[in-house]
Amino acid sequence: MLKIGAIVYSIALLAAIGSGYCVRLKLGNESLNAWGAYLSGCGALALALAAFVAGFLAISDYHSRMLAEKSKWLLQLYEKLFENPQYKDVRRKLDYGDTDEFKMLIQRDAQNLEFTEAQQAKFDAFTDYLNFFEFIARLKEIGQVTSEDLDATFDYYLKLLTRARNPEIRQYLRKDGFENLDKLLLEYESQVQSQPA
């Protein structure tokens, strides 16, 4: 892109000098002041053009860097969800609809019943999974990721948390501090309802 800008700048400068020389030939040496004023104006025009090209190149470079940074973020989030063993068990249970244990743990938590150590570990893993998506929802809310980014990367797993698939989990999210995720899932649920059957 920089080469194109340099070429455009050089062509504009050569055109200005060439047209100025033609003016000098037509008017003669006695009109040297007019020729100087003309070249001065052409120089100002060339500088303005160079500033415009530089601004365009800077914006283009900034946009490219932002896309690269966003892609890096999404890759890290993807790796965290799909390659990190931390979420694997919860993800697998949601994949296969084996959510009875989570629903039982949610119910025990709502009733303020004691957990065994194994139950506490399972419930912690489940809430860590939900916190991951709460973070994703927050990133969307502040504009760091778009709906298209989420659809492309996490659509299936977000839909698994919707009311139609897991009403008990949705109720838990609404009550227990997952406001951003709850709002994001409401968007998903409204998309599902608006789609033709």
pLDDT band, residue 124 (cuts 50/70/90): very high
Tell me the C-alpha distance between 52 and 59, whole Å: 11
What is the rounded distance in angstroms from the CA atom of residue 148 to the CA atom of residue 45? 42
- Average pLDDT of the chain to the nearest whole number: 82
Q: Which of 16, 5, 12, 14 is nearest to 55 (CA)?
A: 5
Q: Are residues 46 and 126 in the same domain?
A: no
Q: Quick one: 52 and 116 in the same domain? A: no
CA distances in angstroms from 178 to 45, 124, 131, 132, 190, listed in the order given: 57, 15, 8, 10, 18
Segments forming the whole domain that contains residue 52:
2-63
> How many other CB atoms are there within 10 angstroms of residue 65's CB atom?
10
Residues 119 and 179 in one domain: yes
With respect to residue 73, please indicate whether it lies within any of the assigned structural domains: no
CA pair distance 188, 197, nearest whole angstrom: 16
Q: Which two tokens stand for residue 93?
A: 């249970």
- Note the pLDDT of residue 29: 62
pLDDT on residue 10: 78
Helix (H) or strand (E) holding 28: none
**pLDDT per position as a tens digit, 170-192:** 888 888 888 899 899 888 888 76
Whether the model pTM is above 0.85? no
Give per-residue pLDDT as tens, 26-61: 666 666 666 677 767 777 877 888 888 888 888 888
For the stretch 62-72, pLDDT in tens is 888 888 888 88
